[in-house]
C-alpha cells in the first residue's frame, strides 16, 4: 500500500499523511477557475449555480470526512450544523445585518458553539449510541426550527438578498458568488489537509485506529475528538451560510436527518478517510443527480443502482478504486 509520491522531489509521505496530489489538483483548480467562461457553452448561468452548489456540498462533505473518515466518529447529525449556519445568516438578515464579513464568521462561530455543546455530550458515548445521540440532537434542532414561526417555521425563510461583500463586488452576480464559493471551499480543503498532516491529524487518525491504546499512552482522547468535532462543525456552518446565500432561502429541511444521511452517503461514496473523499463524493453524487434527472422521472432508481454497484465493487468508495489503479 505504498503512497504515490507527489513528485520526485518531495520526500515519501507516511500512512497518516494524506496527499493533496498537486499533479491532479492544480489542473483541476485551473479548470474550475475557467469554468464561468466555459459555462455559456454548456447552457448558461444555471450551471454556475449548480457548480456553486456542488462546491458547497464538497465543503460540507469534507468537514464530515474529517470526523467520520479520519476521526472515526460516525455523526448522523452533521446537517444540523449546516442548518445552524444557514439560520444564523437568515436571522441576522432579518435583523438588518447582511455584511458577509460579519455574518459568515458569525455562522461559523454559532455552528462551532453548537458543535461544542453537542459534541461534549455525545462524545461520552460509543458506537451506535453515538450515532443515535447525534441524530437525536439534530432532530431536536430541526423541530426547534420548525416551531420558530417568526422565522418562517416549516415554510422557510426567504432572504432579501445575498450577503454584501463590499469591495465593489456583488454576490448577487452568479459569477462572483461562484468564485467566492470556490475560494472558500479550496481554503477549507487546504486547512483540512494541513490539519491532517500535522500532529493533530496524526493523533486523530491514531485514535480512530485504537482509542484504548491512545488513552493508555496518555493522550487526552476526548479533547482531541471534541476539537475535531468543533472544527468540522464550524466548517459545516460556513457551508450552511453559503447554502443560504445560494438560494436566498433558509428552511428547516436543511437540518433534517435525510440531509445528514445524504452527506454521509457522499463521504462513503467518495471514500472514507481519503482527503478528497468528501469532494469526489459530493461531485459524483450531485452530478449524477443532475444528469440522471434529465433523462428519466425515475432517476433515483439509477442513482441507487450506481451507488449499489460502487459499494459492491469498491472496498472503500471511489477513491479506493482510483488508488488501486494507481498502484496496479
Partner 1 sequence: MTGVLILEQALNGLQFGLMLFLLAAGLTLVFGIMDMINLAHGSLYMVGAYLVAAATAASGSFWLGLAAGVAGAALFGVLLELTVLRRLYQRDHLAQVLGTFAILLMCNEAVRFIWGSQPVLLSPPESLAGPVELLPGFYYPAYRLLIIGVGLAVALLLWGLITRTRLGMQVRAGASNREMALAMGTNVRVLFTALFGLGAALCAVAGGMLGPLLAVQVGMGESILILAFVVIVIGGIGSVRGALLGALLVGVVDTAGRTLIPMAFGALLGPEAADNAGPAVASILIYVLMAAVLFWKPKGLFPSHG
Partner 2 sequence: MNHTMTVTLLRSALTAVATAAVLATPALAADNIKVGLLSTLSGPGAGLGIDIRDGFQLAVKLNGGKLGGLPTEVIVADDQASPDVGRQTADRLVKRDKVDFMTGIVFSNVMLAVGAPTFAAKTFYVSANAGPSQYAGEQCNPYFFSASYQNDNMHEAVGKTVTDKGFKRVALIAPNYPAGKDALTGFKRFFKGEVVSESYTPLNLLDYGAELSKLRAAKPDAVYIFLPGGLGINFIKQFVGAGLSKDMTLFGPGFSGDEDVIKAVGEPMLGMFNTSQWGHDLDNAANKKFVAAFEKEYGRLPTLYAAQGFDAAQLIGAAVRDTKGKVDDKAAVRRALEAAKFDSVRGAFKFNSNHFPVQDYYLRVITRDAKGRITNRTLSTVFKNHADAYVGKCKMAAN
Site for partner 2 in 240-279 (CB under 8 A): 247-249, 251, 253-254
List the one residue from 3, 45, 170, 211 that touches partner 2 (CB under 8 A).
Answer: 45
- With CB under 5 to 8 Å by kind, the binding choice for 128 among partner 1, partner 2, none is partner 1
Closest-CA residue to 185 (of 50, 34, 37, 63): 63
DSSP 124: T
Under the criterion CB under 8 A, does residue 300 sit at the interface with partner 1? yes
Contact between residue 239 and residue 56 where contact means Cβ atoms under 8 Å apart: yes
Pattern 208-247, partner 2, x by CB under 8 A: ---------------------------------------x
Q: Which is nearer to partner 2, 47 or 114 (CB)?
A: 47
Under the criterion CB under 8 A, does residue 46 sit at the interface with partner 2? yes
229's grid cell = 468535532
3-state secondary structure string, 36-70?
HHHHHHHCCCHHHHHHHHHHHHHHHHHHHHHHHCC
- With CB under 5 to 8 Å by kind, the binding choice for 105 among partner 1, partner 2, none is none
The string of DSSP codes covering 253-289 is: GGGSHHHHHHHHHHHHHH-TT-TTHHHHHHHHHHHHH
Under the criterion CB under 8 A, does residue 153 sit at the interface with partner 2? yes
The burial of 288, by beta-carbon neighbours within 10 Å (0-12 exposed, 13-18 middle, 19 or more buried), is given as: middle
- With CB under 5 to 8 Å by kind, the binding choice for 139 among partner 1, partner 2, none is partner 1
List the one residue from 44, 220, 300, 305 that touches partner 2 (CB under 8 A).
Answer: 44
- With CB under 5 to 8 Å by kind, the binding choice for 251 among partner 1, partner 2, none is partner 2
136's grid cell = 437525536
The stretch among 39-47, 210-218, 269-277, 303-311 that binds partner 2 (CB under 8 A) is: 39-47
Closest-CA residue to 93 (of 167, 85, 148): 85
Under the criterion CB under 8 A, does residue 4 sit at the interface with partner 1? no
Under the criterion CB under 8 A, does residue 122 sit at the interface with partner 2? no
Q: Which segments of 106-259 are extended strands (E)? A: 157-158, 249-250
Under the criterion CB under 8 A, does residue 132 sit at the interface with partner 1? yes
List the one residue from 8, 149, 199, 325 that touches partner 1 (CB under 8 A).
Answer: 149
* Long-range contacts from 195-203, C-beta under 8 angstroms, 24+ separation: 195/66, 195/231, 196/16, 196/17, 196/18, 196/66, 196/70, 196/275, 197/17, 197/18, 200/224, 200/227, 200/228, 201/16, 201/70, 202/16
Query: Which parts of this chain interact with partner 1 (CB under 8 A)?
Result: 68, 74, 125, 128-129, 132-133, 135-137, 139-140, 143-144, 146-149, 153, 257-258, 261, 264-265, 268-269, 272, 298-301, 303-308, 310-312, 316
Amino acid at each position: 500500500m505504498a503512497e504515490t509520491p507527489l513528485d520526485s522531489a518531495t520526500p515519501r509521505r507516511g500512512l497518516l499523511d494524506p496527499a493533496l496530489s498537486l499533479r491532479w489538483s492544480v489542473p483541476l483548480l485551473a479548470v474550475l477557475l475557467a469554468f464561468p467562461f466555459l459555462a455559456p457553452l454548456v447552457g448558461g448561468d444555471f450551471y454556475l449555480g449548480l457548480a456553486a452548489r456542488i462546491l458547497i456540498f464538497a465543503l460540507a462533505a469534507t468537514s464530515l470526512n474529517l470526523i467520520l473518515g479520519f476521526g472515526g466518529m460516525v455523526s448522523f447529525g452533521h446537517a444540523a450544523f449546516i442548518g445552524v449556519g444557514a439560520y444564523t445568516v437568515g436571522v441576522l438578515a432579518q435583523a438588518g445585518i447582511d455584511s458577509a464579513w460579519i455574518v459568515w464568521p458569525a455562522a461559523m462561530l454559532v455552528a462551532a458553539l453548537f458543535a461544542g455543546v453537542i459534541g461534549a455530550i455525545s462524545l461520552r458515548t460509543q458506537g451506535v449510541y453515538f450515532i443515535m445521540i447525534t441524530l437525536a440532537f439534530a432532530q431536536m434542532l430541526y423541530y426547534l426550527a420548525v416551531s420558530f414561526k417568526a422565522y418562517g417555521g416549516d415554510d422557510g425563510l426567504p432572504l432579501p438578498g445575498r450577503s454584501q461583500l463590499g469591495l465593489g463586488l456583488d454576490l448577487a452576480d452568479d459569477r462572483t458568488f461562484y468564485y467566492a464559493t470556490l475560494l472558500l471551499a479550496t481554503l477549507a480543503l487546504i486547512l483540512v489537509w494541513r490539519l491532517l498532516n500535522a500532529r493533530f491529524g496524526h493523533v486523530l487518525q491514531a485514535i480512530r485506529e485504537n482509542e484504548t491504546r491512545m488513552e493508555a499512552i496518555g493522550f487526552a482522547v476526548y479533547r482531541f475528538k471534541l476539537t475535531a468535532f468543533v472544527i468540522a462543525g464550524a466548517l459545516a456552518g460556513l457551508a450552511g451560510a453559503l447554502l443560504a446565500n445560494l438560494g436566498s432561502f433558509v428552511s428547516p429541511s436543511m437540518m433534517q436527518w435525510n440531509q445528514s444521511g445524504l452527506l454521509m452517503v457522499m463521504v462513503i461514496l467518495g471514500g472514507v478517510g481519503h482527503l478528497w473523499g468528501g469532494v469526489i463524493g459530493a461531485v459524483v453524487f450531485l452530478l449524477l443527480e443532475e444528469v440522471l434527472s434529465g433523462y428519466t422521472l425515475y432517476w433515483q432508481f439509477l442513482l441507487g443502482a450506481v451507488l449499489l454497484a460502487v459499494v459492491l465493487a469498491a472496498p472503500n468508495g471511489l477513491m479506493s478504486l482510483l488508488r488501486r489503479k494507481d498502484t496496479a
